Amino acid sequence: MIAKYRLLALDMDGTLLNDEQQITPKTVEWIKKAMDAGVHVCLSTGRTSRGAMPYVEQLGLDTPMIMVNGSEVWRTPDELYRRSLMDVALVKKMHEIAEEYGTWFWACSVDGVYNRENWDGDIEGREWLKFGYSTEDPDIRHKLLMQLQDLGGLEITNSSPSNLEINPLGINKASGIREVCKLLGLEMSQVVAVGDSLNDLAAIQQSGFGVAMGNAQEVVKQEADAVVATNNNDGIAEVIQKYILAEVEARAGRASEK
């Protein structure tokens, strides 16, 4: 019996991974059960492919992947399908804003991640995928947000309440999932998307079934179809057990009654 939901798109930090940056044995077990039932399991993360790869290998995934909040879509873990680069002029401006406020920043390029500590100033010599700021000061964060919105051409989200993450306008996890669906011959209605932060919001809103983790930001919970346990309490296992495989069993039961 084929599952109603054929693609499970998983955020990593705060969702698939617990606070020790591990996938628990119970979560691994239920992901394997989903895969055995014919469900495609896809990582949908703000991380680079390099940062995600150990977990891809741990789970034995060979499905498409969404990396860097959608700036990269991989056909398989070894084959890049599409890459969306940031305007170099915008990266320059975002770096200037970081210097103006003296705030922590990082920037993902194709060749690596650069931040305040290893910044070498070579903006034009690299291909950029994402820019980010982190500050515990809500006033500075608000001022950063206002300046970024004024720049235009940017997709602004976060991966925690204390940061801002910036991708090219229109590039997010939802746009990445749409491309993965095309690669797999699926519809968005067949997707379960799970996450905890604003960079998961579009995916949760636009997928067939959107799930917020128990530790998710409040706005994400409000927009989700369901809220499950936290990342430290096997929330992903709950998603699979309750909303994916229970549906398979129910449909099998109905089929046997006919």
Give the catalytic positions in this structure: 11
For residue 153, the 8-state DSSP code is S
Token pair in block for residue 238:
């709950």
CA dihedral 121, 124, 130, 133 (to 10 degrees): 30
Termini Cα distance of the chain: 14
Residue 93 φ then ψ, to 5°: -65, -40
What is the layout of strands, in order, in the sheet containing 40-43?
40-43, 7-10, 191-195, 209-212, 226-227
Strand-pairing partners, residue 256, are: none
Residue 15 φ then ψ, to 5°: -130, -80
